[in-house]
Structure 1
Amino acid sequence: MADPAAGPDLAPDVTPDPLEPLPLLRRELHTGPLGLSSREAARRLAVYGPNEVRRAAQRSVLRELLRQLVHPLALLLWAAAALAFVAAIGVLGWAIVAVVLVNAGFALVQERQAEKAVETLARYLPARAQVIRDGRPQHVPARDLVPGDLVVLEEGDRIPADARLTEGGIEADLSMLTGESTPVERLAGPGLQAIPVLQEPNLVFSGTSATEGQARAIVFATGDHTELGRIAALSQRTRREPSPLEKQVKKVAWLIAAVAVAMGAVFLVTGVAVGLPVTDSLMFAIGLLVANVPEGLLPTITLALAVGVRVLARQGAVIKRLSAVETLGSTNVICTDKTGTLTRNDMRLHGLWTPEHLTESGPRSAELIRAAALCTTVTRESDGQLHGDPTELALVEGAAGHAVPVEPAERDAGRRACFRFDPRLRLMSVVQDSGTGRLRVIAKGAPEAVLSLLAGGEPAGKAKEAADALAADGMRVLAVAVRDLPAGAPVPARRQQAEQGLHLLGLVGLYDPPRPEVAAAVRRCHEAGLTVHIVTGDNGATAAAIARSVGIGVPKLQVVAQSEAVDDRRLDHLLQQGDTEIVFARSSPETKLKVADALRSHGQIVAMTGDGVNDAPALHRAHIGVAMGRSGTDVAREASTMVLTDDNFATIVTAIESGRRVYDNVRKFIVYIFAHLTPEVVPFLVFALSGGAVPLPLTVLQILAIDLGTETLPALALGRERAEPGVMSRPPRPSSQGVINKDMLVRSWGWLGSVSAVLVMAAYFYVLWRAGWQPGDPTGPGTPLHDAYLTATTATFAGIVTCQVGTAIAARTDHAALRDIGFFTNPLLLAGIAFELAFTAALVYAPPLQHLFGTAALPVDVVLLIAAFPLLVWGTDELRRWARRRRSTGSRAGGRPAAGSDWTHG
């Protein structure tokens, strides 16, 4: 037993080398076969800290709420509210404050995506562990384990810390670290040289599971120093950056803020200069600020993205962050896993080779298949299903498919010995009763391992060539060899006695076929200008064969066999080859993270798939982290942005198409929302520039009724427009391209907005002049023209709403004519238009709302006048698009670049 007075020589932030000779490791950790004393364990716990994955402090909800309240659009509204209170218009001030708070709360709810990946990592650790202390086994809380503890591992246990086996062996499920579903054997013994630490045959890792066997192991790392802790640290260091949409909306918000403040300052000075009273000047400033701020923009974007989320969920993609829907539309690189994403994760017997080249059904191939199926440990459970290693399942199912079935119960009844798979020897063997009174040794494993055990004169050279050919076709290759023991010979006691002088039966090729829909999905990616890389822990040749079979690597495929060894310089060189798609084989957590970072640094928008715990940092770092819903770990799902419920690569492509559609639709309803800013601002400019001779044509509360009441449902309905033809035939938009560009502003503010402003001001002046008004006539309460003034402002308000109807119909398409998409193809928009007209009628004709919003009932002739506005607004825009299409057609006919070549974006 270790000296209880002795403390570890190792500093608490240093992990000993677990691969050094076992006596040296024990000496360094001051432990022995009887474990630590309880007193020494308590001292080490104080030095090293608890064995748990620690998480960084979260940002407070208050701080995140404050960030929403100082958004540029919110700052403008705060200024407007302050002006309202200064002008003693308390009702308006509180209404604006309510708008700010609702918007901030909406955004907070959507952005408050607490980082749960590290919490989920912690769930992989068991609550208690069996440990040898004071020379006897005892159960202690797993968080109390320390380096030097001797733990007991049994079938079904979770491994409580990183440890090295000192005796016995287990079969471990490392899928949560490696992503590979096949259990691996871990045995006490010396380590191997120059292989990744996760492949070391004598090491086990925190959070993984022991599926079979029993062993003892010495703990060499706990808490944050384990592989699990290292991945948690990577996840916490990779901060989520704002999405392209979030950045662009904020940039546009600052633009709007600058325009609003500049216009307010210029025209406020103008109003004072022309003799407006201070109260009127303040009212003008408030109106200008409120009119310039699209209060409905942020809620409408949020609602449109939420609709996109629901649509994608029905298609098998669960989106966890709303802005990711738009980010999908700008994705130009997909980094995908191979197993289960490109392939079915369903290993099958696919190829055979015998020394006589009898690859078709026949006696030798049947003998080969049956022998391979006998050399397995597959079981048939009470549910009637076969259970076991996927490779061995493929062998047993393949035998049944070739009419040489092997039933596990009968196999076990004839088994006399089993030497399980040894990762160092890379083979396993069994001794079976052949049914003739003689015993037969059957060995299967890696071709090079089995071929080295053949008796002299066996065809090893040809077998090696055949194995290479099968591997080049994407198959996992196993060699099967046998030796018939003489009659009456005893069962070999050791595997060295059994595995010698073998006779080669042949080779079997196991294949995990690609999903049938993946090739078409990859083709659509290429048509859409997307690049597809494979980042996998699998063998390079196998991954390359799968890549070629589904069309990845057109026109050029580069295979990086050991991607862990790639430095940043070579990685940058590889990724800058525009016509090359790459297979990154044998990747580690750092490799995936490096690839994601390198692509981001090159300005690419990256979608990265993953399913294991080791994928969490890269999933967190990529613009779109895509986790597998069926085969993925909880940690991967928590770290990701999108979860595929069907684990299917084709679903990613469908999601990208949906993202492009959502992006286009966001631009459509931004055109719709921005188009009525002009008719909202112009009345205040007319009021100011006339020095008050023209009474204010629109009230601030009416503006809020438009921005928050009438526009929301049609805008949301525009977010449900179907994808325009060719959405997946154009290249991804540059990451630098804003969601709002000059063409959109010209169309919304300049064309649609100007037409609407002229129409609504015409309606306003028509009502006033019909009542005999002349510039400068008083229209306040108690004056003869007051009722006419209320009717005129109501006509302005209702006119803006009816112009919105025409704008909504025009905004449905950027370039095509309305007849090309059909008037009735968006029933939600028709319903939204019906709602805004009904809402407007309520504000105009319901007495309680008339008093609140300052409206009055409109006479029939005014109703008929503004009823023509939708047709006029839509018709003028239809003419503009017709002229643009003609110019575009003429440019193409002349062999020059089309003038409207960017029509899909403007």
Structure 2
Amino acid sequence: MRNHRPGTGHSAGPGTDTATTTTDPREPLPLLRKELHTGDRGLSGREAARRLAVYGPNQVRRREKRSLARLLSAQLLHPLALLLWGAGALAFVAGMPVLGWAILAVIVINAVFALLQEHQAERAVEALAAYLPERADVVRDGRRQAVEAAELVPGDLLVLEEGDKIPADARLTEGALEIDLSMLTGESAPVERVAAPSEQGVALVHEPNLVFSGTTCTGGEAQAIVFATGGHTELGRIAALSQRAPRRDSPLETQVKKVAWLIAAVAVGMGAVFLLIGALVGLPLTDALMFAIGLLVANVPEGLLPTITLALAVGVRVLAKQGAVVKRLSAVETLGSTNVVCTDKTGTLTQNRMRLQAHWTPRTGIASGTPPAELARAMSECTTTSYDESGELRGDPTEIALVEGSGPDLPARVAARDGRRRALFRFDARLRLMSTVAEHDGRLVVYVKGAPEAVLARTSGVDRDAVMAVVGDLAHRGLRVLAVAVRDLPPGADAPARREDAETGLRLLGLAGLYDPPRPEVAEAVRRCHDAGLRVHIVTGDNGATAAAVAAEVGIGVPRLHVVAESERIHDHELDELVTGDAEIVFARSSPETKLKVADALRAHGQIVAMTGDGANDAPALHQAHIGVAMGRSGTDVAREASTMVLTDDNFATIVTAIESGRRVYDNVRKFILYIFAHAVPEIVPFLVFALSGGLVPLPLTVLQILAIDLGTETLPALALGREPAEPGIMGRPPRPSSQGVISRDMLVRAWGYLGLISAALVMSVFFYVLWRAGWHPGDPTGDGDALHHAYLTATTATFAGLVTCQIGTAMAARTDHASLRQVGLTTNPLLLAGIAFELLFAAALIYLPPLQHLFGTAALPWDVLAIIAAFPVIVWGADELRRRHRRRAHLNKQ
């Protein structure tokens, strides 16, 4: 951690946050005061102003957002957009302004649409800043006064009371507080902070004399000296880690950009080559430019980017209905390639509804049911549960289980407990203990509960090895084990003022075995993970044996389970060996920092990681994982904002559902890319025939008709393919490698070499059929005013209509990659049927409405031509159905 040291840090301008030194907040208090130049009267107003100029405001620095102009320019300079810019420029040069403006309109519409969909900035830092209070009480110039929290500086003397939010990292100088550290540590119970010497060998966040920015004071009064502000606080450190790495493109985004550049290179290369051919065969300049424009427009899949964006947006909406709120569109696709899930145990795999399952005493051994009276009373006394207005028992789930398991008549016993209490030492994560002092029959009794090893270290007259053997037995049954002990104080003794005086000389009463049952749907979800080739690791603060028992109960540990008992101590090289092995792993006794180490290790070895978390200190790990998964119910705002996905039901099974949806969305993206790419060949072939014939064959398709296809008839079916239901067996195949392209060689062969060529052959055949029927011969004039002009308009219209009907066959073929259409079902995607109906109506309007006929150069089609075109969908789909059946048989023969 970086700390401030006034008078020695280098100078910085106002508003900066860069001065750092080596001040250690754990050094002796007199030395710290000397380092910070702070006396009992606090800082002077002038000195505070000087330090504010050097160290900057006490604010969490926020990442600068990209300007709207910059975001829009990125869309306008996309390689596919650049191709269209070139086509538009050529249209204006060739004296076709209507076509030029139409192309420019396509560019702007695409850019604005994509911009609106992608303009979703992450707000993790804003959520962190929300933890800071607006004002703070300080001692300055010898008197207490309220100042803006943003104006606090290192060396300020804070006055803290119950209900205050801590405005900066500080060291207590007098008094004691109870602090809610849950937003930093995830621990729900408040912890004590006292003006006392530091303890060696503990983490900074567990120091008993330090308080931290953004946490809440739940009780007590104290003064504290500020040693870190703004970005140098623990809160600021989390913010810096959360935004350390810039947002990276998802695999899909990267691949689409690569393909876009490939398309651009192919289009420009083909244009240059065929312009040269046109010049050699004597093609007029206007015709050559028209050819170049047509080639560019035909090569650009105008609907690709908005269709991908909309498909991902639809995936987001579907997941939200299933309990998973995805905050970034590209994350939907990333979910489909996830191959490792790192999950918490309590509340995610389990129900977080503890109950007393078994108990042990030296006399009775392990038993179930209500414990002996003395153990039951101690279990109930050493809790802080209470009843709310609705009569429900509220508090920590572990303590609720202890109270409920200690016997009947709960309300009366809870009220009597509070009346007898004389002192309370809340649970301390470092000591792993909690204790209370209560009065019974005129004498005080100390009640202690906590981790067995921690309690046994403070007891006497007990065989610790034997007790720990019982603890191991209970833990292997999947129980969380707590030890309970007492100490009778001498008659007339006062309640101990310090917990170290209370928690000593204890007498062990027994052990409580608590059971948190797994969620009923988790075992099936884990099985589906394994069927889909995913590995599941548990990262938990709980005991290794308990976590391993839960893992076994839900089916985690295939082919074997490895338990890291003290995961905070694991070295990087050992971690690397573990995550590259074949075992599923339990990381027990872990901290939020452990999660970050695990996420880093998995990423370093090429794994696509989904990581769950709920505390503010989980934010760096959630940010580092490919898919950070926060808990919607139990998670902190910081975790939710740092994550990529929020589970509204805190349920592991929802993660698996999200992964399945991610795979379905990825498959559907491939389906509509196949659908869009398949039409590039029949759109390009007419221009190639025109160019290679040297103009002897008139242009079979106009540029405006191509735009009508790409943006009119093609778009809705493509969007509908984005809503296609999952193909059979989607969760029975392994995750795709992260290096696998969304556009594969097999897809291009199918799109261009099969569906595309069949469609091109069909549309060119109907074009020549119409011309030859009218008596046309190669080289005959077909321009405006010529005898064959109407026949030429009818022929180009037949080409246009043929392409539209071929689209229908391609859409049906694209619905499945391997299975037959019979397995998928003809009517299982009603949106696709609606999209097909729309494209037929749209094409009919262009063909038969006179205003549109004039604009797009179309003419009404005779019935015989319509009959020929009507067969095209069946031919295209049927050919692909035969191809898929052949591939299925070949696959079965290999097996």
Q: State the TM bucket, normalised to the shorter chain.
A: over 0.9
The answer to whether the 8 Å contact 2:820/2:885 transfers is yes
Match of 1:411 in 2: 417
Please name the residue that 1:786 is paired with.
789
Matched letter for residue 43 of structure 1 = R
Distance 1:501 1:232, change over 3 A: closer
1:139-187 CA-to-partner distances (Å, cap 9, x unmatched) read 1111111222221222221111111222222222212112232322222
> Any conservation in 2 of the 1:172–1:208 contact (CA below 8 Å)?
yes
| Match of residue 547 from structure 1 | 551
Q: Give the match for residue 136 of structure 2.
A: 129
| Pick aligned residue for 1:535 from 507, 514, 539 | 539
Equivalent in the alignment of 1:480: 484
The C-alpha deviation readout for 1:402-423, integer Å capped at 9, x for no partner, is: 6776532222223355455566
Kept after mapping to 2: 8 A contact 1:359/1:365: no
Letter in 2 for 1:290: V
**Pairing partner for 2:113 from 106, 109, 123:** 106
CA 1:188–1:445 in structure 2 vs 1: closer, same or farther (change >3 Å)?
farther
Aligned partner of 1:144 in structure 2 is 151
For the structure 1 residues 481 and 335, does the alpha-carbon distance in structure 2 shift closer, same or farther, using more than 3 Å as the test? Answer: closer
Query: 1:575-586, aligned counterparts within 5 Å?
Result: 575-583=579-587, 585-586=589-590
Report if the CA contact (8 A) 2:480-2:543 is conserved.
no
Q: Secondary structure at the match of 2:72?
A: helix
Q: Quote the offset at 1:500 in angstroms.
A: 5.8
* Equivalent residue pairs, number: 882
Structure 1 equivalent of residue 78 of structure 2: 71
Deviation at 1:17, TM superposition (A): 1.1
Structure 1 SS opposite 2:21: coil
Alignment of 1:462-541 (within 5 A): 462-483=466-487, 489=492, 491-492=494-495, 494=497, 502-538=506-542, 540-541=544-545
CA contact under 8 A between 1:244 and 1:735: conserved in structure 2? Answer: yes
| Structure 1 letter corresponding to 2:817 | D
Alignment of 1:317-716 (within 5 A): 317-360=324-367, 365-400=372-407, 407-418=413-424, 420-421=426-427, 426-434=432-440, 440-454=445-459, 457-483=461-487, 489=492, 491-492=494-495, 494=497, 502-538=506-542, 540-583=544-587, 585-589=589-593, 591-716=594-719
Question: Which deviates more, 551-560 or 681-690?
Answer: 551-560
* Counterpart among 278, 286, 289 of residue 282 in structure 1: 289
Q: CA deviation at 1:119?
A: 2.0
Per the alignment, residue 900 of structure 1 pairs with none
Q: Within 2, Cα distance between the matches of 1:7 and 1:263? A: 67
Tell me the distance in 1 between the aligned counterparts of 2:401 and 2:146.
40
Q: Deviations over 1:830-888 (max 9, x none)?
A: 11111111111111111111111111111111111111111111111122222222323
Give, in angstroms, the shift of residue 768 of structure 1.
1.1
Displacement of 1:251 in angstroms is: 1.4
Match of 2:197, SS state, is coil
Choose from 54, 57, 65 the match for 1:58: 65
User: Deviations for 1:9-35, whole angstroms, at most 9, x for unmatched residues?
Assistant: 566312521111222222222223332
Distance between the aligned counterparts of 2:278 and 2:8, measured in 1? 81
Q: C-alpha displacement at 1:296, in angstroms?
A: 1.0
Which residue identity lines up with residue 482 of structure 1 in the other structure? V
- Equivalent-residue separation in structure 1 for 2:431 and 2:596 (angstroms): 32
Counterpart in the other structure of 1:904? none
Q: Does the C-alpha gap of structure 1 residues 432 and 264 become closer, same or farther in structure 2, counting only changes over 3 Å?
A: same
| Corresponding residue of 2:95 | 88
Percent of matched pairs sharing the same residue: 72
Secondary structure class of the residue paired with 2:23: coil
Give the counterpart letter for 2:447 in structure 1. I
| Structure 1 unaligned residues grouped into runs of 5+ | 1-5, 893-906
Q: 1:286-325 alignment to 2 at 5 Å?
A: 286-325=293-332
TM-score (norm 1): 0.92
8 Å CA contact retained: 2:386, 2:394: yes
* Secondary structure of residue in 1 paired with 2:175: strand
Q: Which moved more, 1:628-637 or 1:839-848?
A: 628-637
Give, in angstroms, the shift of residue 478 of structure 1: 2.7
User: Does the CA-based 8 Å contact 1:7-1:40 persist in structure 2?
Assistant: no
Which of 186, 195, 220 is residue 188 of structure 1 equivalent to? 195
Q: Which moved more, 1:568-577 or 1:756-765?
A: 568-577
Distance 1:823 1:810 in 2: 11
CA distance in 2, matches of 1:472, 1:19: 40
Aligned pairs for 1:6-17 (under 5 A) are 8-9=7-8, 12-17=19-24
The whole-number CA distance in structure 2 between the counterparts of 1:450 and 1:604 is: 41
Q: Is the contact between residue 150 and residue 219 of structure 1 (CA under 8 Å) also seen in structure 2?
A: yes
Retained in 1: the 8 A contact 2:358–2:367?
A: no
Q: CA deviation at 1:805?
A: 0.8
SS in structure 2 opposite 1:241? coil
Q: Deviations over 1:779-836 (max 9, x none)?
A: 1111111111111111100010011111111111122222222212222111111111
Instruction: Note if contact 2:166-2:211 (Cα within 8 Å) is conserved in structure 1.
Output: yes
Cα drift, residue 562 of structure 1 = 4.8
Q: Please identify, of 189-198 and 310-319, the stretch whose mean Cα deviation from structure 2 is larger.
A: 189-198
Amino acid at match of 1:415: R
1:209 to 186, 203, 216: 216
**Residues 756 and 409 from structure 1, CA distance in 2 versus in 1: closer, same or farther, beyond 3 angstroms?**
same
Q: 1:198 to 1:541 in 2, by over 3 A?
A: farther
**Pairing partner for 1:809 from 808, 812, 820:** 812
Contact 1:240 1:620 in 2 (8 A): no
Is 2:359–2:371's contact at 8 Å kept on the other side of the alignment?
A: no
CA distance in structure 2 between the partners assigned to 1:277 and 1:44 by the alignment: 76
Distance change in 2, residues 1:462/1:882 (3 Å): closer
If the length of structure 2 is used for normalisation, what is the TM-score? 0.93
- Aligned-partner residue type, residue 418 of structure 2: D
Q: Which moved more, 1:242-251 or 1:627-636?
A: 627-636
The corresponding residue for 1:903 is none
Cα distance change on mapping 1:232 and 1:453 into 2, 3 Å: closer
Amino acid aligned to 1:209:
T
Residue 430 to residue 79, structure 1, CA distance change in 2 (3 Å): closer
Question: Is the contact made by 1:431 and 1:491 (CA closer than 8 Å) also made in structure 2?
Answer: no
Unaligned runs of 5+ residues in structure 2 are 11-18
Q: Distance in 2 between matches of 1:501 and 1:235?
A: 45
Deviations 1:619-674 (A, max 9, x none): 22322222222222222222222111111111111111111111111111111111
Residue 279 (structure 1) shift: 0.1
Contact kept, 8 Å, 1:158 with 1:210, in 2: the verdict is yes
**Which residue identity is paired with 1:69?**
L
C-alpha deviation, 1:89, in angstroms: 0.7
- Counterpart Cα distance in 2 of 1:746 and 1:556: 41
Q: After TM superposition, give the deviation of residue 688 of structure 1 in Å.
A: 1.0
Contact 1:178–1:537 under 8 Å retained in 2: no
